[in-house]
Chains A and B, each alone.
Chain A
Amino acid sequence: MNFDLSDEQRLLQQTVDDYLKTESPLSRLREFYDSDQSIDPVIWKGLGELGILGVQLPEAYGGAGLELLDLACVAERIGYAAAPGPFLAHTIAALALSLAGSDEQKEKWLPQLATGERVATLAFAEPGALWQPEQWKLSPRDGRISGQKENVLAADSADVILVGLDQGELALVEASSDGVHFDPSSGLDRTQKTALVTFDDAICDPLPGGSGVSGRVRDAALVLLAADAYGGGQRCLELAVDYAGTREQFGRKIGQFQALKHQLANLALDIEPCRALAWYSAYAWDHIPEESARAAAHAKSHVTDRFTRVARGTVEAHGGIGYTWECEVHFWLKRAIFGRTFLGTPRVHRLRAADLAGW
């Protein structure tokens, strides 16, 4: 019995923290934020060199052969830094490919996805917030698809798109192929930019095991969203506490005011217990198949909900400056909303969790 991260996992987190702190400082993040880029090529390459884009992939394909928990450890630090780019979609698409792809597909894509030289993304949502595998309608005819997918992360930077199809099937579409069009969405969270993708008779390459894994792939993505949200919430709490220790009003640090103390204590109470739930959902995905779907649904809905509350509270604790574009706090507020809504709102997953519990 040991419910804690291993030394290796902590080291992995430390490596990501150190890298992002030096290479992706706020000044750089701000530039990215205000640009139209969906990937920061330097940071993306750097993350690839750290080996964290292939943590979850088999060693035979250039990955580290580790578990979802390890990937979630990374996602937590990515969320902490509000790191730019499609980490979530890229790693989950690669995971799906490793679980359900043919040898040929894996050979073709995985080694370069593991290093980040090529970028993958997820196209799941169909108009009307139809995110879940059992809701997907897009269906191929003679190996080609036509239709739309919304909220596709970094679609314009991707080389390959993992598309969710009717019956929960999955297929790869090369982004450069004919009949694939992108319309950048004016997304709220500019650290994770998305686009609307329109397929017009585009060639798709089905994953042989697609329908067998799509639920599990969705669950893995929910786990990463929860981990990212915990990391983001932890960062917000730190920002709020730091500010309370520097800003002065009425001749003293605002952190001396009890009302503010209690607000910050409540933020801690909201976010800190989320860490263990996020961990558990990852652990369950790796080791407790009978509970993993419910744990993922619980983690995603609970942690992203709490992160949203904590990010709002952090803005409030900053006063007027917190309400500006200039102050970084909104990066996390918007990332919180992204995590909350992407792949289905808390309500959707709570109702799923209730079904999964057999209630």
Chain B
Amino acid sequence: MDLAYGKEYEAFRLEVRDFLAEHWLQGSREGNAPQATSDFRQTATDRGYLYRGVPKAYGGGEQPADALKAQVIREEFGRARAPMEVSGNGVSMLVPTLLERGEEWQKEKFIRKTILGEYQWAQGYSEPGSGSDLASLRTQGRLEGDEWVIDGQKIWTSQAQHCQFMFTLVRTEPEASKHAGISYLLVPLDQPGIEIKPLKMITGQSHFNEVFLNDARTPADWIVGERGEGWKVSKTTLKHERNAIGGGSQAIFESLMRLVGKATLDGRPALEDPSIRERIAALEAWVWAQKYTAYHQMTCGLQGKDPGIVTLLNKLLATDIGHEVAAVALELIGDASLKEPFAAAPDQRGDERWMNQFMGSLGNSIAGGTSNIQRNIIAERGLGLPREESTA
């Protein structure tokens, strides 16, 4: 066991620091205009710091897989508050899926613009009748000439109103069995056959939508994998989504600590309250358990070993920690919890913004597969308990 990165990586760290000192105005997001942000991303990609798994041919940083370098980059960019890769489904889910399963022309056409943030992607999986039982989905696709014609409805589609494209699961082989009848299609959203209706979320914002497909069209070759292979292809995507959500809770814990540091209870600093001290210490221990579990997984990844059941636990661990953060914050913000989190202008918002984390932590129990479904997976795949036939 050795938590030191070693000479090679410390040298690399210095290199990253020098790069950041030269190209990023340290610590001030505001001081860097949007254009500066995307220029910076381009420079950082050219240097091989971002999109390391994406070949240069598609605009990536193309570097040999090195989880430690990736970790050093995250740490240093985080410290300098420099922009990392563009966020969103495109980069976190579609790009890895295309890299694994896409046709050459699909990679060329979509990856570069996606990682530059020019193409944004919605994930069109869930339907009104198909959530946890996603494979029961009913949106139909049929090939007419050189086009897919799609009819049906997707729901809870995050950010669809701001996206140009959607990767979606569609039933194209009605005769085949449940899982074997699904294909993975890429669909342009700006077309007459598609209507996007924002849904107001529990927070009052409208981040997700209903997407109605009525005679919607997409070219015949905008399919990833073969016909009827969509379920398998989507597993690549879900795996990436789990990784994304299962990330560490250190950052949210640190913001909670900033709240604890300024909050008062009964007119005294909250930090003097033994019950709060006990609770945040318990929370920190939990975050450390998560953090070092992640280190262990990283080590196993580097050495080609199987870390075991913990990989299935990451999502629930992050979700549960998020719930406890929310519970502590609720205790501390007092009457601010009576306010709507987004009613005031952004620069006028106070502690009520924690109500967004309160809601968001709840959303994590649902989005990307519910906690119950995850528990099924842990029990059946992780612990080897018998599978329930009816849900296969």
Contacts and interface: CB of A to CB of B under 8 A. Distances in A.
Interface of A: 1-6, 69, 237, 241, 244-245, 253, 255-256, 258, 261-262, 264-266, 268-269, 272-277, 279-280, 283, 287-288, 295, 297-299, 301-302, 305, 346-347, 350-351, 353-354, 357, 359
Interface stretch (B121-129, B201-209, B280-288): B280-288
Contacts of B4: 1
Nearest to B71: A1
Contacts of A353: 281, 284-285
Given A273-B290, A354-B278, A268 B388 contact: no
B280 A269 contact: no
Given A237-B383, A279-B292, A287-B3, 17 more contacts: A1-B2, A1-B4, A1-B6, A1-B9, A3-B1, A3-B292, A3-B296, A4-B296, A268-B382, A272-B293, A273-B290, A277-B292, A283-B1, A301-B282, A302-B288, A351-B278, A354-B277
B1 A266 contact: no
A350 B385 contact: no
A234 B216 CA distance: 53
Contacts of B274: 351
A266 B313 CA distance: 9
Contacts of B300: 4
A1 B299 CA distance: 8
Nearest to A262: B375
A359 B5 CA distance: 29
B285 to A, nearest CB: 4
Interface string B290-323: 1111011011101101001110010011001000
A244 B386 CA distance: 9
A338 B384 CA distance: 31
B382 A277 contact: no
A265 B382 contact: yes
B134 interface: no
A70 to B, nearest CB: 10
Interface centre among B293, B299, B300, B384 (most CB of A within 10 A): B293
A139 B214 CA distance: 86
Nearest to B377: A265
Given A1-B9, A1-B299, A268 B282 contact: no
Given A1-B5, A4-B1, A353-B285, A269 B317 contact: yes
Contacts of A269: 313, 316-317, 320, 378
A258 B1 contact: no
Nearest to A276: B292
Contacts of B260: 359
B289 interface: yes
A261 B282 contact: no
Contacts of A302: 282, 285-286, 288-289
Contacts of A245: 384-386
A299 B288 CA distance: 9
B280 A354 contact: yes
Given A1-B3, A3-B3, A295-B288, A264 B383 contact: yes
Contacts of A357: 281, 284
B379 A273 contact: no
A128 B388 CA distance: 52
A279 B307 CA distance: 15
Nearest to A244: B385
B253 to A, nearest CB: 12
B278 A350 contact: yes
B255 interface: no
24 contacts: A1-B2, A1-B4, A1-B5, A1-B9, A1-B298, A1-B299, A1-B302, A2-B302, A3-B295, A3-B299, A261-B376, A261-B379, A261-B380, A264-B383, A268-B382, A273-B293, A273-B313, A276-B295, A276-B296, A277-B288, A279-B1, A298-B284, A302-B286, A351-B277
A265 B288 contact: no
A264 B384 CA distance: 11
B250 interface: no
B285 A262 contact: no
Contacts of A305: 282
A262 B278 CA distance: 28
Contacts of B1: 2-6, 69, 279, 283
B281 A265 contact: no
Given A3-B299, A273-B289, A273-B293, A255 B386 contact: yes
Contacts of A347: 278
Nearest to B4: A1
B68 interface: yes
A268 B313 contact: yes
A353 B386 CA distance: 42
B271 interface: yes
B372 interface: yes
A268 B296 contact: no
A323 to B, nearest CB: 23
B285 A277 contact: yes
Nearest to B374: A265
Contacts of B288: 277, 280, 295, 298, 302
Contact of B386 (A253, A276, A287, A297): A253
Nearest to B308: A272
Contact of A354 (B281, B376, B384, B385): B281
Nearest to A4: B299
Interface in B316-337: 316-317, 320
A224 B367 CA distance: 39
Contact of B309 (A2, A253, A272, A277): A272
